[in-house]
Amino acid sequence: MKVIGRILLFLVGAILIVNAVPMIIENWNLLNQNGWGDFSSYPDKMVYLSAIVGQSINVLFGLVALIAALRGKSSFWLFIFSLIMIGGVIWYFISTKNAGTLGDFKNIVEIIIGFALPIGYFLGSLFIIG
């Protein structure tokens, strides 16, 4: 089970990093094109900045998963991050069930990123313990 956990964490961590880094670069370039001053009058700048922060968090989560996979050991932060990720999936199910839009998926990529990665992260963090 430990080998499966390491493989899951390695794959999920790599996917998180590979998806996040180009988005950070793209939003950084868009922010540079529009200038750094006066964020209050340009809401697009806040969107770019929040995307950079959000994707930076994905890179952090991916790095923790890769380090745990390469070390072959679990850590306190891996456990906390896996709970945060699985909590996001549970929150999504609760909010979409209440809104009546459960099962309204745009494409397969949304399903993979939205559900398979957090569940794989959580399962990998559990399997790496044993």
pTM: 0.79
Cα-based distances in Å from 33 to 28, 44, 49, 55: 9, 12, 13, 19
Q: What is the mean pLDDT of the segment spanning 4-26? A: 93
Q: Please list, in sequence order, all residues whose beta carbon lies within 8 angstroms of the beta carbon of residue 129, skipping any fewer than 6 positions away.
A: 5, 74
Confidence of residue 98 (pLDDT cuts 50, 70, 90): low
**pLDDT beyond 80 at 40:** no
What are the sequence ranges of the domains in the chain?
A: 2-127
Confidence of residue 106 (pLDDT cuts 50, 70, 90): low
Least confident of 30-44, 58-72, 110-124: 30-44
**pLDDT beyond 90 at 10:** yes
